[in-house]
Amino acid sequence: VSEDRRLVSVAIAVPVRRLFTYRVPETLEGEIRPGVRVRVPFGRRRVEGTVVEVGVAEPETGRELLDLESVLDDGPELDPPLLFLTRFVADYYLCSWGEAIESALPPRVRRRPRREAIGEPGEPAPALSPTKAQEAVLAEILPAVHRRAYAPFLLFGATGSGKTEVYLRAAEAALAKGRGVLYLVPEIGLTPLLLSRLARRLPGPIAVLHSAMPAGERRDAWERVRSGECRVVVGARSAVFAPVPELGLLVVDEEHDGSYKQEERPRYHARDVAVVRARNEGAVLVLGSATPSLESFHHARAGRYRLLRLGGRVEQRPLPAVRIVDMRREYRETGAVRPVSRALEKAVAEALGRGEQALILRNRRGWAKALLCPACGVRIGCPRCSLSLTWHREPGRLRCHLCGIERPRPGACPACGQPELREVGEGTERIEDELRRLFPEARIGRMDRDTVRRRGVQERLLRQFDRGDLDILVGTQMIAKGHDFPRVTLVGVLSADHTLGLPDFRAAERTFQLLTQMAGRAGRGDRPGEVIVQAFDSGHPVLREAAAQDYEAFYEREMGFRRALRYPPVSGLVRLLVVGKEPSKARAWAQLVAEALEQAGENKLVLSGPGPAPVERIRGMYREQILVRSAGRRRLVEAVSRALELVERKVPRRAVHVDVDPLSVL
């Protein structure tokens, strides 16, 4: 097998985990090197790809190799560190290298007008003098920035403890050393407030990278980063691939946030990619959170990250008082099922009376989760999914939250003809209505996926609430993140325990994070805050730990459970979903996949399933789930990879969905 300078490996964005070999025509030889984007003939079409290796062996296909068609001169090229990083993504998350590269590149656009970066246009920043706690933390981070070597930190600090100031000072230090800064935030965290704060504090223009940005703008920002014009990048998930030259500092704010995980191929976790990138490129890594993921805290405990604690709130503001209301008792004592307890009603009234604001969380949208026939027990379900339809009073339709299908509300039970259907499981619409009834004078806003569907509505709601034009804001978890409302002194959480019952190993972790985040919303101004948590299972330890804001108690107890059941972070986890239109086919294929896993894992893997996924059917497709666990994550992924090769001929490729390190197994 001889190598030939004129043969190259090309990565193409198809879900086939292999590379394709092409011949380089003499005319293009000078331009070809790894990372270059090319156009190639591929089957009956022509596609774009990326040269990943020059001088490779001829593959053993009897046929003549095809020529590269052209080099995309306007296309970007990836530098070696980024090529290496995308290769890691492909190997670890089991996608093709081409798919990984595709998700790292900005969108291709034709003509693009230059747009302005977020520059220095604002007045220079009032550099706050750091608190004692911030100084102590910076005393660890800054020397690492000067050393110019990989150094990972977990910055553990409550909401309002001043993490951003720490990031800013670390960024200043990195920039002063001539190195670039990559600052990742969750989807929702890219607020104008944060951007202006960064722009006013850091020298030079800042690039913003976010997949919701128009293609042209994203492309411009990307070019500015690659050219070195912008040495600070702020962005969401995909910005982890920003082509920052000489990366010195990588910040992952709110590292526990689920939006860092991409829920489509390639299913990468930007935080975990960030860790690999920082290590590869010798950068300082700062993961920040008030409620670290169990993964990150576990790594810190094991000494893989340096744990830095940032103590109490700045300006010595007290933590809010958290009260848990037992809704079973409430029901016994009042004899009525009211979504708002007497205690919460009283507290809202008092807050409004003082001219203060209330934030009410109900993590479920719509009016009623389901319509139930009281005579025969039938529930109106989605025709394509194994899930009930949610009643939305606005616009007066039943809607499936999984597939989006809409139905009119039947006048009577479709099974027995009983005319009255009962509404069960109240959502934000219903809560808003209830609050309007209880507080007819109050100005009430609702923020959930239904009300913010139109562009700009979310910003408007937040602005109104911030200005004091609203007294109460009701909403789903989107009200929990990233906003600082100084006039909020009361936070109410309804059915705080409903997510605890989900058949998902991260249910408790997510509930704890949400409650802690919500508690952090109360009393950020000079007035103390109050949090009222309503729950049926009011004695649940997660609620008590969240009420006490005791992360470490939660961590220790939850780790006991993860250890016992061998769930992450104690063990690596891969989820395979085998999907088929017919349940018998899905089952048979899943069985074959499971057998291949046993074989490829040499019986060292722990398998759960195959069995029906918790949501058995979505969009008419039956879903069989297999969970695979093993102590060594890399070994686990390799075994899954081998198993997939083993079933290549027996199970249709499209039927198998693989999720490495899934956030949820629902």
* Segments of 43-100 assigned E as strands: 45-57, 70-71
Residue 494: closest CA among 400, 401, 402, 429 = 429
Return d(Cα 144, Cα 140) in angstroms, integer.
7
- We find the least distance from the C-beta atom of residue 240 to DNA, in angstroms, to be 23
DSSP states of 96-155: -HHHHHHHHSPPP-SS------B-S-SPPP--PPPPHHHHHHHHHHHHHHHHTS-EEEEE
Closer CB to DNA, 43 or 456, in the complex: 43
- Check residue 652 for interaction with DNA (CB under 7 A): yes
- Out of 25, 41, 404, 560, the only residue in the binding site for DNA (CB under 7 A) is 41
Binding characters for DNA, 111-150, by CB under 7 A (x = yes) = ----------------------------------------
| Neighbouring C-beta atoms of residue 407, cutoff 10 Å | 13
59 makes contact with DNA (CB under 7 A) = yes
Q: Binding mask 149-188 vs DNA (x if CB under 7 A, - otherwise)? A: ----------------------------------------
The stretch among 36-44, 166-174, 400-408, 463-471 that binds DNA (CB under 7 A) is 36-44
Name the segment binding DNA (CB under 7 A); options: 12-20, 176-184, 239-247, 431-439.
12-20
Q: Is 212 exposed, middle or buried (0-12, 13-18, 19+ CB in 10 A)?
A: exposed
Q: What are phi and psi of 567, to 5 degrees?
A: -110, 165
Q: Rank residues 93 and 485 by Cβ distance to DNA and give the closer one.
A: 93
The CB-of-9 to DNA minimum distance in angstroms stands at 8
Q: How far is the CB of 43 from DNA (least distance, A)?
A: 4
Region from 239-247, 491-499, 598-606, 651-659 binding DNA, contact rule CB under 7 A: 651-659
Residue 20 makes contact with DNA by CB under 7 A: yes
- Indicate the angle between helix axes 270-281 and 80-93, nearest 10 degrees: 140
Side chain identity at residue 651, one-letter code = V
Interacting span for DNA (CB under 7 A) from 15-23, 304-312, 389-397, 613-621: 15-23
Among residues 43 and 303, whose Cβ is nearest to DNA?
Answer: 43
Q: Determine which residue in the list 45, 114, 132, 437 makes contact with DNA, applying CB under 7 A.
A: 45
| Sequence-distant (≥ 6) Cβ neighbours of residue 75 within 8 angstroms | 37, 48, 108
The DSSP element (H or E) to which 207 belongs, if any, is strand 206-209
Q: Which of 42, 84, 331, 536 binds DNA (CB under 7 A)?
A: 42
Q: Out of 16, 127, 548, 666, which residue is the one contacting DNA (CB under 7 A)?
A: 16
Interaction residues for DNA, span 576-605 (CB under 7 A): 581
622 binding DNA? (CB under 7 A):
no
- Count other C-beta atoms under 10 Å from residue 26's C-beta: 8
Of 111, 114, 437, 654, the one binding DNA (CB under 7 A) is: 654
44 binds DNA (CB under 7 A): yes
**Binds DNA by CB under 7 A, chosen from 25, 33, 66, 420:** 66
d(CA 548, CA 158) in angstroms, rounded, equals 13
Q: Minimum Å distance from CB 505 to DNA?
A: 27
**How many whole angstroms separate alpha carbon 255 and alpha carbon 345?**
35
**Number of residues forming the site for DNA (CB under 7 A):** 23
- Least gap, CB of 14 to DNA (angstroms): 4
Helices (H), 335-469: 342-353, 428-438, 457-467
| Min separation Cβ 623 and DNA, Å | 16
How big is the chain by its Cα radius of gyration, in Å? 27
Which of 628, 619, 567 has the alpha carbon at shortest distance from 593?
628
CB of residue 170 vs DNA: minimum separation in angstroms?
40
How far is it, in rounded angstroms, from Cα 99 to Cα 112?
25
Which residue number, 63 or 455, has a Cβ lying nearer to DNA?
A: 63
Site stretch for DNA (CB under 7 A), options 61-69, 103-111, 157-165, 250-258? 61-69
Give the residue, chosen from 14, 349, 378, 588, that forms a contact with DNA under the rule CB under 7 A. 14
Name the phi and psi angles at 157, rounded to 5.
Answer: -155, 140
Angstrom CA distances, 310 to 137, 158, 442, 524, 621, stand at: 7, 7, 38, 17, 48
Q: Is 15 in the site for DNA (CB under 7 A)?
A: yes
Alpha carbon 242 to its chain's center: 18
Q: Would you say 267 or 277 has its CB closer to DNA? A: 267
Non-local (6+) Cβ contacts of 611 within 8 A are: 624, 625
Buried b (16+ CB within 10 A) or exposed e, 93-132: bbbbbbbbbbbbbbeeeeeeeeeebbeeeeeeeeeeebbe
The residue from 11, 22, 308, 344 that contacts DNA (CB under 7 A) is 22
Interacting residues toward DNA by CB under 7 A: 14-16, 18, 20-22, 40-45, 59, 61, 63, 65-66, 265, 581, 652-654
